[in-house]
Amino acid sequence: EPEVTQTPSHQVTQMGQEVILRCVPISNHLYFYWYRQILGQKVEFLVSFYNNEISEKSEIFDDQFSVERPDGSNFTLKIRSTKLEDSAMYFCASTDRRGASTDTQYFGPGTRLTVL
C-alpha cells in the first residue's frame, strides 16, 4: 500500500541552524501539508501546498519557514534559523482530493526535531 515517507526520522540541531525536513508524498497525490506536534500537545496545521504554491498557512508558519517541491516526488519544509520552541514532531501529509473517497489525509511517520 502506498505511504508517505519522511526523512530523517530524528534531527538534532543547534539553535540558529537551518534544517530541511524531507517528505515523499504518495505518488498520485496533489495536495501536500505540514503539521507539527509539540510533545504532549495537539497536532497543529502549518501549511498546505497545491500546484506549486502555498494554499494556506497558519500563524505558526512565519518567515522562518518555507516549503518547496523541488522535483516530482519530494516535498520539503525548511526552517531557516531554528529556535528552541521549534522542537516538535513534524508530520507531512498528502491527499488526492479528486473524489468523494479521496479526502483522507495520509500522514507520514514524522520527523522528530530537537533544537538544542
Q: Which residues of the shown chain bind other proteins in the complex (CB under 8 A)?
A: 31, 33, 35, 42-45, 48, 55-56, 58, 89, 91, 93, 95, 97, 100, 103-110, 112
Q: How far is the CB of 35 from other proteins (least distance, A)?
A: 7
- The strands making up 65-68's β-sheet, listed across from edge to edge, are 5-7, 19-24, 75-79, 65-68
Q: How far is the CB of 8 from other proteins (least distance, A)?
A: 14
Rounded CA gap, 109 and 50, in Å?
21
Residue indicated by cell numbers 526535531: 113
Of 25 and 108, nearer to other proteins (C-beta) is: 108
